A and B are shown apart, each in its own frame.
Chain A
């Protein structure tokens, strides 16, 4: 074996080892979720779906899942509308105060989620809206909006600016330029951004812990409360379902809308 082959073999072994470290916890979750007993055993001593049954029939999880769907659908859709409009504005116009507005709307990427969650908790308190859906939706919307804005902005930036001019030149009013040219071209970006926003909102935990109450808690919060009280693999089953769902969504999003571009991952 040549030295080059040896080096390449070493490098790829290292990569495989690191990827094992990254993916092993997920595999263990999937494994324990179908484990017949409460005590983990390796290798597993059979396959059982009792934990899935328990998870699906546990009232807290049922309600939390419903809450999560309400919050996620509202928050990600609001983020889609507001974020797309803002991305278009930033792409098209420069105006006074744009920098400040951008900084404020991007800040949830940097601000710790517990600070934001705490802020929305206090804000809700000030308006007697604490633990209500309104505040939860607002907090989630603010948290996921940068991702939608970015996805739409990236799509817009790849459009030849002359397309809008060409359309105007051919007689298209600003409304028609928007609806016939720009909207169809950014639709994939919007859809991708919306899916990312939905997944992030569905799995958001820290801020949700602050802004939800026992009645309005979302799935991750319910899972957290369960973990603190019980040690059986019911949460493994919920986790497994979440992992499978999000992975599927992301896979579809990548295939359909080129997620890598939205996330700005250049491989070539």
Chain B
């Protein structure tokens, strides 16, 4: 008999064990989300759906809306700022320029959220870089309040999400058939028209997936709203932390985590549907 699947079980077993552990952790969140909160205790009571009905209060709605709003703003600004960089990164004529652009735009991804959030605290604080600079130039007398505002949070989050956006856009731009652009130019389109009529529409699926990925990613941001928002800007992650570690209401924290997970999954499903349709429309045949 031909041995059809050498190493199959040996290689499968560790993956299955890992998947089971991961699933168990997620199941614990689900399990806690339908348990009763016992005030003053980390133990939980019996089955209840009360945690889910509790969401239906204005303060929680506002946190959810704020989370959506901040994530959407971040996604849009991230797209606007990333597109030129991604375009330059793909189309730069010199090799070293491309390498430099890749390094500058991608390495921030790997310094970690704490380092990056902290660096923005140094930038935005009332004694921070921006305020010191502006005061030195005598443009302002009193420090601008950017820390502890939505603006500050968005400014940091946009920078935070740009590497991912740039990767996605660069991939989309590099897949544009240059002959299409040449054909358009040959038919009399100016460089501007080539970009707006050919290149940009062809990268629309990439832009869309970039927006959704950054949106989903930002919705689960924690340290930036925590430290730069400083309690004045609450996103769902901060609420989970507050409920879990200050109020010690683990069931409600679990419910909120679950909602965040569903929102992230939901936006991804939405993206698949939208980009799928777009790509079908853009396909030549």
Instruction: State if A and B touch, Cβ cutoff 8 Å.
Output: yes
Of A23, A114, A264, A265, the contact of B222 (CB 8 Å cutoff)? A114
B237 and A105 contacting across the interface, CB-CB below 8 Å:
no
Total number of A residues with any Cβ neighbor in B under 8 Å: 89
Interface segment, one of A52-60, A154-162, A240-248: A240-248
Contact across chains for B15 and A82 when beta carbons are under 8 A apart: yes
The 10 closest A-B pairs by CB, nearest first: A203-B112, A112-B220, A119-B25, A174-B6, A25-B119, A122-B28, A85-B11, A86-B15, A115-B257, A266-B174
Instruction: Decide yes or no whether A267 CB sits under 8 A from chain B.
Output: yes
Q: Which residues of A contact B (CB under 8 A)?
A: 4, 7, 11-12, 14-15, 18-19, 21-26, 28-29, 32, 39-42, 81-82, 85-86, 88-89, 93, 95, 101, 104-105, 107-108, 110-116, 118-120, 122-123, 125-126, 138-139, 141-142, 145, 174-175, 178, 196, 199-200, 202-206, 209-210, 220, 223-224, 227-228, 235-236, 239, 242-243, 246-247, 249-251, 254, 260, 263-268
Closest Cβ of chain A to B19, distance in Å, is 4
Q: B56 in the interface, Cβ–Cβ < 8 Å?
A: no
Question: Which residues in B have their C-beta under 8 angstroms from that of A206?
Answer: 113, 220, 222-223, 237
Please, could you name 29 A-B residue pairs with CB atoms under 8 Å apart, sorted by A? A4-B191, A12-B88, A15-B85, A15-B101, A19-B85, A22-B104, A25-B159, A42-B133, A85-B11, A88-B11, A89-B11, A101-B15, A105-B15, A110-B216, A110-B265, A112-B220, A112-B264, A114-B237, A119-B25, A122-B31, A141-B18, A142-B18, A199-B110, A220-B114, A223-B118, A228-B227, A246-B112, A249-B110, A250-B107
B81 touches A (CB below 8 Å):
yes
Is chain B's interface secondary structure helix, strand, loop, or mixed overall? Answer: helix
Q: Chain A residues near B3 (CB, 8 Å)? A: 174
Is A115 a contact partner of B258 (Cβ separation < 8 A)?
Answer: yes
Are A260 and B102 in contact (CB-based, < 8 A)?
yes
* Contact A25–B25 (Cβ < 8 Å): no
Judging by beta carbons under 8 Å apart, are A205 and B88 in contact?
no
Closest residue on chain A to residue B262 by CB atoms:
A115
Q: Which residues of A contact B116 (CB under 8 A)?
A: 25
Query: Which of B18, B19, B159, B261 makes the CB contact (< 8 A) with A112?
Result: B261
A interface SS class: helix
Closest to B171 in A: A266
Chain B contacts for A32, CB-based, 8 A: 122
| Interface: B115 (CB within 8 A) | yes
Contact status A39-B108, CB under 8 Å? no
- Is B278's CB within 8 Å of the partner chain A? no
In the bound complex, CA of A242 to CA of B77 (Å): 28
